[in-house]
Structure 1
Protein backbone atom coordinates (compact mmCIF):
# COMPACT_ATOMS: atom_id res chain seq x y z
CA UNK A 1 0.00 0.00 0.00
CA UNK A 2 1.39 3.40 -0.98
CA UNK A 3 1.30 5.91 1.86
CA UNK A 4 0.69 9.58 1.39
CA UNK A 5 3.66 11.67 2.47
CA UNK A 6 3.24 13.94 5.44
CA UNK A 7 4.77 17.23 6.38
CA UNK A 8 5.63 19.52 9.28
CA UNK A 9 5.81 23.30 9.24
CA UNK A 10 6.58 26.19 11.58
CA UNK A 11 5.48 29.76 11.00
CA UNK A 12 8.31 31.48 12.86
CA UNK A 13 9.98 34.09 10.65
CA UNK A 14 7.60 33.83 7.70
CA UNK A 15 4.58 35.64 6.30
CA UNK A 16 1.07 34.25 5.93
CA UNK A 17 1.43 34.31 2.13
CA UNK A 18 4.75 32.40 2.15
CA UNK A 19 3.27 29.94 4.64
CA UNK A 20 0.23 29.40 2.39
CA UNK A 21 2.47 28.94 -0.66
CA UNK A 22 4.53 26.26 1.13
CA UNK A 23 1.38 24.30 1.98
CA UNK A 24 0.03 24.64 -1.55
CA UNK A 25 3.33 23.64 -3.18
CA UNK A 26 3.45 20.50 -1.03
CA UNK A 27 -0.13 19.57 -1.91
CA UNK A 28 -1.20 19.56 1.76
CA UNK A 29 -4.93 18.91 2.21
CA UNK A 30 -5.14 19.00 6.03
CA UNK A 31 -3.25 21.26 8.43
CA UNK A 32 -3.01 19.71 11.91
CA UNK A 33 -2.31 22.33 14.55
CA UNK A 34 -0.39 20.72 17.43
CA UNK A 35 0.01 23.84 19.56
CA UNK A 36 -1.33 23.74 23.12
CA UNK A 37 -2.40 27.35 22.68
CA UNK A 38 -3.58 28.09 19.14
CA UNK A 39 -3.13 31.82 19.56
CA UNK A 40 -0.37 33.95 18.14
CA UNK A 41 0.81 37.52 18.33
CA UNK A 42 1.70 37.10 14.67
CA UNK A 43 -1.20 38.29 12.48
CA UNK A 44 -2.73 35.44 10.50
CA UNK A 45 -1.53 32.60 12.70
CA UNK A 46 -4.15 32.44 15.46
CA UNK A 47 -6.62 29.57 15.19
CA UNK A 48 -9.56 31.48 13.64
CA UNK A 49 -7.58 33.44 11.07
CA UNK A 50 -5.38 30.47 10.18
CA UNK A 51 -8.32 28.13 9.79
CA UNK A 52 -10.16 30.61 7.55
CA UNK A 53 -7.04 31.21 5.47
CA UNK A 54 -6.24 27.56 4.79
CA UNK A 55 -9.92 26.72 4.24
CA UNK A 56 -9.98 29.37 1.49
CA UNK A 57 -7.16 27.37 -0.17
CA UNK A 58 -9.17 24.14 0.03
CA UNK A 59 -7.07 22.87 2.94
CA UNK A 60 -8.79 21.51 6.04
CA UNK A 61 -7.78 22.54 9.54
CA UNK A 62 -7.94 20.65 12.81
CA UNK A 63 -6.54 21.63 16.21
CA UNK A 64 -5.33 18.70 18.30
CA UNK A 65 -4.76 20.64 21.51
CA UNK A 66 -3.95 17.47 23.47
CA UNK A 67 -0.78 17.14 21.36
CA UNK A 68 0.44 20.56 22.43
CA UNK A 69 3.41 20.93 24.74
CA UNK A 70 2.62 21.43 28.42
CA UNK A 71 3.75 24.75 29.91
CA UNK A 72 6.88 23.20 31.47
CA UNK A 73 7.86 21.78 28.08
CA UNK A 74 7.41 25.14 26.37
CA UNK A 75 9.62 26.71 29.05
CA UNK A 76 12.28 24.04 28.48
CA UNK A 77 12.15 24.65 24.72
CA UNK A 78 12.45 28.43 25.15
CA UNK A 79 15.51 27.97 27.37
CA UNK A 80 17.15 25.62 24.86
CA UNK A 81 16.78 22.54 27.08
CA UNK A 82 16.09 19.96 24.36
CA UNK A 83 16.57 17.04 26.76
CA UNK A 84 14.06 18.57 29.18
CA UNK A 85 11.56 19.13 26.38
CA UNK A 86 11.93 15.53 25.22
CA UNK A 87 11.50 14.19 28.76
CA UNK A 88 8.49 16.39 29.59
CA UNK A 89 6.78 15.86 26.25
CA UNK A 90 7.48 12.11 26.29
CA UNK A 91 5.69 11.87 29.64
CA UNK A 92 2.84 13.99 28.26
CA UNK A 93 2.37 11.58 25.35
CA UNK A 94 1.62 8.82 27.89
CA UNK A 95 -1.48 10.64 29.16
CA UNK A 96 -4.91 9.43 28.05
CA UNK A 97 -5.83 12.68 26.21
CA UNK A 98 -2.55 12.63 24.28
CA UNK A 99 -2.93 8.93 23.42
CA UNK A 100 -6.44 9.60 22.08
CA UNK A 101 -5.15 12.56 20.04
CA UNK A 102 -2.31 10.44 18.62
CA UNK A 103 -4.84 7.85 17.48
CA UNK A 104 -6.94 10.63 15.92
CA UNK A 105 -3.82 11.92 14.15
CA UNK A 106 -3.08 8.45 12.78
CA UNK A 107 -6.66 8.18 11.51
CA UNK A 108 -6.48 11.65 9.94
CA UNK A 109 -3.27 10.71 8.13
CA UNK A 110 -4.94 7.79 6.38
CA UNK A 111 -5.18 8.74 2.71
CA UNK A 112 -4.55 12.44 3.34
CA UNK A 113 -1.58 14.74 2.89
CA UNK A 114 -1.35 16.18 6.39
CA UNK A 115 1.00 18.79 7.78
CA UNK A 116 1.80 19.21 11.48
CA UNK A 117 1.93 22.87 12.53
CA UNK A 118 3.75 24.58 15.38
CA UNK A 119 5.60 27.87 15.82
CA UNK A 120 9.30 26.97 15.56
CA UNK A 121 10.78 27.40 12.10
CA UNK A 122 13.25 24.57 12.59
CA UNK A 123 11.80 21.22 13.57
CA UNK A 124 14.82 20.37 15.73
CA UNK A 125 13.99 21.37 19.29
CA UNK A 126 10.23 21.41 18.57
CA UNK A 127 7.80 18.85 19.91
CA UNK A 128 6.36 18.31 16.42
CA UNK A 129 9.50 16.31 15.60
CA UNK A 130 8.57 13.83 18.35
CA UNK A 131 5.04 13.58 16.94
CA UNK A 132 6.43 13.12 13.43
CA UNK A 133 8.75 10.36 14.65
CA UNK A 134 5.78 8.58 16.28
CA UNK A 135 3.68 8.93 13.12
CA UNK A 136 6.53 7.55 10.98
CA UNK A 137 6.43 4.35 12.99
CA UNK A 138 2.66 4.12 12.75
CA UNK A 139 2.12 4.71 9.04
CA UNK A 140 5.51 3.80 7.57
CA UNK A 141 6.07 7.19 5.94
CA UNK A 142 8.80 9.78 6.30
CA UNK A 143 7.99 13.46 6.87
CA UNK A 144 9.16 16.39 4.85
CA UNK A 145 9.87 19.43 6.99
CA UNK A 146 8.63 22.46 5.07
CA UNK A 147 10.54 25.75 5.34
CA UNK A 148 8.43 28.66 4.07
CA UNK A 149 10.31 31.62 2.66
CA UNK A 150 11.50 33.96 5.44
CA UNK A 151 10.36 37.59 5.82
Structure 2
Protein backbone atom coordinates (compact mmCIF):
# COMPACT_ATOMS: atom_id res chain seq x y z
CA UNK A 1 0.00 0.00 0.00
CA UNK A 2 1.44 3.37 -0.99
CA UNK A 3 1.52 5.19 2.30
CA UNK A 4 0.57 4.06 5.76
CA UNK A 5 -2.14 5.61 7.88
CA UNK A 6 -0.56 7.96 10.37
CA UNK A 7 -0.72 7.67 14.12
CA UNK A 8 -1.89 10.47 16.37
CA UNK A 9 1.69 11.20 17.46
CA UNK A 10 2.55 12.58 14.02
CA UNK A 11 -0.64 14.49 13.29
CA UNK A 12 0.63 17.66 14.97
CA UNK A 13 3.85 17.65 12.94
CA UNK A 14 1.87 17.14 9.74
CA UNK A 15 -0.42 20.06 10.50
CA UNK A 16 2.46 22.32 11.54
CA UNK A 17 4.41 21.50 8.37
CA UNK A 18 1.38 22.24 6.23
CA UNK A 19 0.74 25.56 7.99
CA UNK A 20 4.34 26.75 7.69
CA UNK A 21 4.38 25.92 3.99
CA UNK A 22 1.01 27.60 3.45
CA UNK A 23 2.14 30.81 5.18
CA UNK A 24 5.38 30.83 3.24
CA UNK A 25 3.69 30.31 -0.12
CA UNK A 26 1.03 32.93 0.68
CA UNK A 27 3.86 35.44 1.01
CA UNK A 28 5.38 34.27 -2.24
CA UNK A 29 8.57 33.20 -0.51
CA UNK A 30 10.84 30.37 -1.54
CA UNK A 31 12.18 27.96 1.06
CA UNK A 32 15.56 29.60 0.65
CA UNK A 33 14.08 33.02 1.46
CA UNK A 34 12.30 31.83 4.61
CA UNK A 35 15.38 29.95 5.80
CA UNK A 36 17.44 33.14 5.49
CA UNK A 37 14.79 35.26 7.23
CA UNK A 38 14.53 32.73 10.08
CA UNK A 39 18.27 32.25 10.39
CA UNK A 40 18.07 28.49 10.02
CA UNK A 41 19.56 26.12 7.48
CA UNK A 42 17.66 25.23 4.33
CA UNK A 43 17.87 21.54 5.24
CA UNK A 44 16.28 22.22 8.64
CA UNK A 45 13.38 24.06 7.03
CA UNK A 46 13.00 21.33 4.40
CA UNK A 47 12.73 18.69 7.14
CA UNK A 48 10.16 20.80 8.98
CA UNK A 49 8.02 21.30 5.88
CA UNK A 50 8.30 17.67 4.79
CA UNK A 51 7.32 16.36 8.25
CA UNK A 52 10.63 14.53 8.63
CA UNK A 53 10.77 15.49 12.30
CA UNK A 54 7.94 14.42 14.58
CA UNK A 55 8.85 17.01 17.23
CA UNK A 56 10.56 20.06 15.71
CA UNK A 57 12.71 22.12 18.06
CA UNK A 58 11.02 24.96 19.94
CA UNK A 59 13.63 27.51 18.91
CA UNK A 60 13.41 26.42 15.27
CA UNK A 61 9.65 26.87 15.24
CA UNK A 62 10.00 30.15 17.10
CA UNK A 63 12.44 31.50 14.52
CA UNK A 64 10.14 30.48 11.69
CA UNK A 65 7.14 32.09 13.39
CA UNK A 66 9.05 35.33 13.90
CA UNK A 67 10.16 35.38 10.27
CA UNK A 68 6.57 34.84 9.14
CA UNK A 69 5.40 37.55 11.54
CA UNK A 70 2.98 35.30 13.43
CA UNK A 71 2.98 34.43 17.13
CA UNK A 72 3.85 30.96 18.33
CA UNK A 73 0.39 30.71 19.84
CA UNK A 74 -1.22 31.60 16.52
CA UNK A 75 1.01 29.18 14.64
CA UNK A 76 0.26 26.25 16.93
CA UNK A 77 -3.41 27.11 17.27
CA UNK A 78 -3.72 26.89 13.51
CA UNK A 79 -2.57 23.26 13.64
CA UNK A 80 -5.42 22.20 15.91
CA UNK A 81 -8.03 21.10 13.43
CA UNK A 82 -10.98 18.82 13.98
CA UNK A 83 -10.72 15.36 12.44
CA UNK A 84 -13.32 14.06 10.03
CA UNK A 85 -14.07 12.84 6.53
CA UNK A 86 -14.43 14.69 3.25
CA UNK A 87 -16.05 13.31 0.11
CA UNK A 88 -13.76 14.13 -2.80
CA UNK A 89 -14.51 13.60 -6.49
CA UNK A 90 -11.98 14.93 -8.98
CA UNK A 91 -14.35 15.01 -11.96
CA UNK A 92 -14.00 18.41 -13.66
CA UNK A 93 -10.92 19.37 -11.64
CA UNK A 94 -7.27 19.79 -12.52
CA UNK A 95 -4.59 18.60 -10.15
CA UNK A 96 -3.50 22.08 -9.05
CA UNK A 97 -6.98 23.25 -8.05
CA UNK A 98 -7.67 19.89 -6.40
CA UNK A 99 -4.58 20.07 -4.20
CA UNK A 100 -5.34 23.71 -3.41
CA UNK A 101 -8.81 22.71 -2.23
CA UNK A 102 -7.34 19.98 -0.03
CA UNK A 103 -5.02 22.52 1.57
CA UNK A 104 -7.86 25.00 2.08
CA UNK A 105 -9.77 22.33 4.01
CA UNK A 106 -6.73 21.30 6.05
CA UNK A 107 -6.76 17.73 4.73
CA UNK A 108 -4.11 15.47 6.26
CA UNK A 109 -4.60 12.42 4.06
CA UNK A 110 -6.23 11.34 0.82
CA UNK A 111 -7.67 7.82 0.94
CA UNK A 112 -8.03 6.64 -2.66
CA UNK A 113 -10.93 4.17 -3.01
CA UNK A 114 -10.58 3.58 -6.75
CA UNK A 115 -10.07 -0.10 -7.52
CA UNK A 116 -7.40 0.78 -10.07
CA UNK A 117 -5.91 4.23 -9.40
CA UNK A 118 -5.19 5.26 -12.98
CA UNK A 119 -6.72 8.20 -14.81
CA UNK A 120 -6.68 9.92 -18.17
CA UNK A 121 -6.74 13.23 -16.33
CA UNK A 122 -3.17 14.47 -15.88
CA UNK A 123 -1.95 14.19 -12.31
CA UNK A 124 -4.56 11.79 -10.96
CA UNK A 125 -2.86 8.45 -11.56
CA UNK A 126 -1.46 6.85 -8.43
CA UNK A 127 2.20 7.80 -8.72
CA UNK A 128 1.66 11.37 -9.97
CA UNK A 129 -1.08 12.01 -7.45
CA UNK A 130 1.05 10.68 -4.62
CA UNK A 131 3.91 12.95 -5.68
CA UNK A 132 1.70 16.05 -5.87
CA UNK A 133 0.19 15.33 -2.47
CA UNK A 134 3.59 14.67 -0.91
CA UNK A 135 4.85 18.02 -2.15
CA UNK A 136 1.85 19.63 -0.46
CA UNK A 137 2.48 17.78 2.79
CA UNK A 138 -0.56 15.54 2.42
CA UNK A 139 -0.36 11.79 2.88
CA UNK A 140 -1.72 9.36 0.32
CA UNK A 141 -2.99 5.82 0.74
CA UNK A 142 -4.68 3.49 -1.71
CA UNK A 143 -7.42 1.40 -0.09
CA UNK A 144 -7.86 -1.04 -2.95
CA UNK A 145 -10.29 -3.31 -1.12
CA UNK A 146 -12.74 -0.39 -0.98
CA UNK A 147 -12.78 -0.08 -4.77
CA UNK A 148 -15.87 -0.82 -6.85
CA UNK A 149 -15.49 -3.72 -9.34
CA UNK A 150 -15.99 -2.94 -13.02
CA UNK A 151 -19.07 -5.15 -13.26
CA UNK A 152 -20.83 -3.07 -10.58
CA UNK A 153 -20.29 0.37 -12.11
CA UNK A 154 -23.12 0.43 -14.64
CA UNK A 155 -25.88 0.68 -11.98
CA UNK A 156 -24.33 3.89 -10.66
CA UNK A 157 -24.26 5.35 -14.16
CA UNK A 158 -27.67 4.33 -15.51
CA UNK A 159 -29.90 5.28 -12.60
CA UNK A 160 -29.98 1.95 -10.72
CA UNK A 161 -28.00 3.39 -7.82
CA UNK A 162 -29.79 1.32 -5.18
CA UNK A 163 -28.80 -1.86 -7.00
CA UNK A 164 -25.17 -0.82 -7.18
CA UNK A 165 -25.09 0.25 -3.54
CA UNK A 166 -26.66 -3.01 -2.35
CA UNK A 167 -24.12 -5.11 -4.20
CA UNK A 168 -21.25 -2.97 -3.00
CA UNK A 169 -22.36 -3.40 0.62
CA UNK A 170 -22.00 -7.14 0.07
CA UNK A 171 -18.50 -6.56 -1.26
CA UNK A 172 -17.62 -4.66 1.90
CA UNK A 173 -18.22 -7.81 3.95
CA UNK A 174 -14.96 -9.35 2.70
CA UNK A 175 -12.04 -9.61 5.10
CA UNK A 176 -9.92 -7.34 2.93
CA UNK A 177 -12.59 -4.65 2.79
CA UNK A 178 -13.19 -4.85 6.52
CA UNK A 179 -9.48 -4.37 7.12
CA UNK A 180 -9.38 -1.24 4.95
CA UNK A 181 -12.57 0.05 6.58
CA UNK A 182 -10.92 -0.37 9.97
CA UNK A 183 -7.93 1.62 8.79
CA UNK A 184 -10.11 4.39 7.39
CA UNK A 185 -12.22 4.51 10.56
CA UNK A 186 -9.15 4.74 12.78
CA UNK A 187 -7.76 7.57 10.69
CA UNK A 188 -11.04 9.50 10.65
CA UNK A 189 -10.97 9.92 14.43
CA UNK A 190 -7.39 11.18 14.34
CA UNK A 191 -7.13 13.49 11.35
CA UNK A 192 -8.84 14.99 8.33
CA UNK A 193 -9.25 12.48 5.52
CA UNK A 194 -10.54 13.02 1.98
CA UNK A 195 -12.05 9.87 0.47
CA UNK A 196 -11.24 10.05 -3.23
CA UNK A 197 -12.92 8.71 -6.35
CA UNK A 198 -13.76 10.16 -9.77
CA UNK A 199 -17.43 11.18 -9.71
CA UNK A 200 -18.17 14.71 -8.52
CA UNK A 201 -21.65 13.66 -7.35
CA UNK A 202 -21.19 11.15 -4.55
CA UNK A 203 -24.75 9.90 -5.09
CA UNK A 204 -23.44 8.34 -8.31
CA UNK A 205 -20.34 6.92 -6.65
CA UNK A 206 -19.67 3.91 -4.45
CA UNK A 207 -17.67 6.10 -2.07
CA UNK A 208 -20.96 7.21 -0.50
CA UNK A 209 -21.43 3.64 0.74
CA UNK A 210 -17.89 3.72 2.14
CA UNK A 211 -18.57 6.99 3.95
CA UNK A 212 -21.94 5.84 5.25
CA UNK A 213 -20.39 2.62 6.54
CA UNK A 214 -17.76 4.54 8.50
CA UNK A 215 -20.49 6.75 9.95
CA UNK A 216 -22.27 3.63 11.18
CA UNK A 217 -19.15 2.78 13.18
CA UNK A 218 -18.26 6.16 14.67
CA UNK A 219 -19.74 9.61 15.10
CA UNK A 220 -17.93 11.59 12.42
CA UNK A 221 -18.81 14.57 10.30
CA UNK A 222 -18.66 14.04 6.54
CA UNK A 223 -18.32 17.10 4.31
CA UNK A 224 -18.00 17.60 0.58
CA UNK A 225 -14.72 18.94 -0.74
CA UNK A 226 -15.67 22.20 -2.41
Q: TM-score, normalised by structure 2?
A: 0.62
- Give 1:90 shift: 1.0
The list of structure 1 runs, each at least 4 consecutive aligned residues, that deviate by more than 3 angstroms after superposition, is none
Question: Which structure has more helix as a fraction of its residues?
Answer: 2
Partner of 1:128: 207
Match of 2:146 among 53, 63, 67: 67
Structure 1: segments with no counterpart, 5+ residues: none
* Distance 1:109-1:5 versus aligned 2 partners, 3 A rule: closer
- Larger proportion of strand: 1
Query: By how many angstroms is 1:19 displaced?
Result: 0.6
Q: Which moved more, 1:114-123 or 1:128-137?
A: 128-137
Q: How far 1:137 sits from its partner (Å)?
A: 2.3
When structure 1 is superposed on structure 2, of 41-50 and 136-145 the one drifting more is: 136-145
3-state DSSP of counterpart to 2:153: helix
Q: Are residue 79 (structure 1) and residue 150 (structure 2) matched?
A: no
TM-score, normalised to structure 1's length? 0.91
Contact 2:84 2:188 in 1 (8 A): no
Deviations 1:108-135 (A, max 9, x none): 2231111100000111121111111111
RMSD: 1.5
Q: Which residue among 12, 15, 18 is the counterpart of 2:97? A: 18
User: Which of 70, 80, 88 matches 1:9?
Assistant: 88
1:58 corresponding residue in structure 2: 137
Q: Is the 8 A contact 2:85 2:193 kept in 1?
A: yes
1:73-116, Cα deviation, whole Å (9 max, x unpaired): 22222333202211221110111111111111112223111110
* Equivalent position to 2:169, from 84, 87, 90: 90
Superposed CA offset, 1:24-77 (max 9, x none): 111001000000010001110000000000110000000000000012222222
Larger radius of gyration: 2
SS in 2 for 1:9: strand
How many residues matched? Answer: 146
Selected match of 1:41 from 116, 120, 127:
120
- Asked which structure has the greater RCO (Cα within 8 Å, sep 6+), the reply is 1
Q: 1:33·1:61 contact (CA, 8 Å) conserved in 2?
A: yes
